[in-house]
Amino acid sequence: MLINPYTPDINFKNFTNLDVDILKYYDRLFDTAVDFDFTPRYRLELGLKIGFRDIFYYIDLLYNNNPESVIDVGCGECIWKNWFPNIIGFDPYPSSAWSKADFVDFFDEDFSIGHAQWYDCGMALNSLHFIDWDFVPKQIDLAMNIVKQQFLFTFNFNQIKNKPNVPELIPLFDNMLKSSNYEIVLVDYPVQRGVLQRQIDDSAFINGHVRFILSHKNKDAK
């Protein structure tokens, strides 16, 4: 189990040229939640290094077992296709006409049942947290049901409805994950590694307050 493994100097394991490849797209990346060009370079130059590189690191880890398919749930523009192979993205409302999403759909129980173990790995970057707190374990179950190996989640605590106060959520989240039916491959709360709460809140729509990868316990997919 890797707990809070990321530091800015850590190397990518599966895509060793990723730092160079990221630079090719820096000025083309933006988040459509705002009206102006909002690039990872902008974040980096402001010193908010939690902005993107750590998310690239977590996605890189999904490729430890060479997945042939990685479903991106709530993909928006599906920008991760710029750097990673075999990504299949869908979103109920693709964020722009130039989205690279493969299809339009809602993620719900019907989707999960209809796509049971369709994909090797999955990720949902701040897209599955618009739910009541009591439904979080079920939402994770629905996501895990569609993958054979691992799933990367990022959650923005501020988007969870009827939740306890944010400072209380870290131990609650820990207990929830430990009591789940899944192996915890990693869990990262940026505030626990020195990132300021202000930086988390300012950019949580991209990063999430928690990032975690889960694996099926009967799969050797570390």
- Cα torsion for 95, 98, 103, 104, to the nearest 10°? 30
The bridge status of strand 119-125 relative to strand 147-155 is parallel
pLDDT, residue 26, reads 60
Over 80: is that where the pLDDT of 191 sits? no
For the chain, percent of residues with pLDDT exceeding 70:
74
Separation of alpha carbons 112 and 144, rounded Å = 9
Is the C-alpha dihedral spanning 87, 90, 95, 99 positive or negative?
A: positive
Mean pLDDT across the stretch 58-73? 96
> Which strands, in side-by-side order, build the sheet including 210-216?
2-3, 182-188, 210-216, 147-155, 119-125, 70-73, 87-90
Residue in this structure with the two tokens 């693709």, named with its chain if needed: 94
Confidence of residue 220 (pLDDT cuts 50, 70, 90): very low
Q: What is the tally of helices (H) and strands (E) in the chain?
A: 7, 7
Mean pLDDT of the chain: 81
Q: What confidence score (pLDDT) does residue 96 get?
A: 63
DSSP for residue 17 = T
Look at the domain 2-216 and name its fold. Rossmann fold (3.40.50)
Per-residue pLDDT at 31: 45
Whether residue 140 contacts residue 161, with contact meaning beta carbons closer than 8 Å, is answered with: no
Q: Are strands 182-188 and 210-216 parallel, antiparallel or unpaired?
A: antiparallel
The answer to whether residue 153 scores a pLDDT higher than 70 is yes
Decide: 73 and 124 in contact? Cβ < 8 Å. yes
Q: 114 or 78: which carries more pLDDT confidence?
A: 114
Measured from the Cβ of residue 25, the count of other Cβ atoms closer than 10 Å reads 14
Condensed to tens digits (0 to 9), the pLDDT of residues 80-94 reads 888 899 999 998 886
The pLDDT of residue 36 is: 46
